Amino acid sequence: MNEKMVKAMNKQLNFELESAHVYLAMQNYFAAMSLTGFEHWFNVQYKEEVEHAEKFMEYLNDRGERVEVTGFPSPKNEFSSVLEVLETSLNHEKEVTRRIHALMDLAIELKDYPSMSLLQWYVDEQVEEEANFSMLIDKVKMMDGKGLYMLDRELGKREE
């Protein structure tokens, strides 16, 4: 593989791990608020981010390249409201999308067809990631205290 792509994919897989920690911190914010449905939903989100990182790792290993695991900044642990958590999440996913698109641009420039195929999965996944948070933001904006209780129960059913 081209060195530029190996470096960029390593950077992205570490950003996926950073994303996992962003959601792990949010999961525990909800745990502290006793919003167990949100807590569960963000735990599933956390695990999904780890899977996103693993998918890049497997790909780099399959292609005989070296994976480099790095550190990253501490995530935000305190929030003022449920809505703030969700808006922070949506903004985070928009940043992920921007980075995935930049990776796809690089794959196209390098005519790296296997990487384009892998990255297409992430392009599609990001549509879903942004849609999930947009939907939750819309729901939370519409509701009162009772509605939040009902939504919490609904989110508790998210499947892994």
**Contact residues: ligand FEO, CB under 6 A:** 16, 19, 49, 52, 93, 96, 129
Asked if residue 53 lies in contact with residue 20, where contact means CB atoms within 8 angstroms, the answer is: yes
Could you tell me the smallest distance in angstroms from the CB atom of residue 130 to ligand FEO? Answer: 9
Q: For ligand FEO, which is the closer residue by CB, 98 or 153? A: 98
- Nearest-CB residue for ligand FEO: 52
Closest CB 128 distance from ligand FEO, rounded Å = 9
Minimum distance, C-beta of residue 19 to ligand FEO, in the bound complex (Å): 5
Closer residue to ligand FEO in complex, CB, 100/151: 100
CB 30 within 8 A of CB 39: yes
**First-to-last C-alpha distance (Å) of the chain:** 33
Q: How far is the CB of 145 from ligand FEO (least distance, A)?
A: 29
Q: Whose Cβ is closer to ligand FEO: residue 127's or residue 150's?
A: 127
Q: Give the integer Cα–Cα distance in Å for 36 and 60.
A: 37
Q: What is the DSSP letter of 159?
A: -
Between 63 and 94, name the residue whose CB sits nearer to ligand FEO: 94
The 3-state DSSP composition of the chain as helix, strand, coil percent (nearest 5) reads 80, 0, 20
| Residue of 99, 84, 72 whose CA lies nearest to 133 | 84
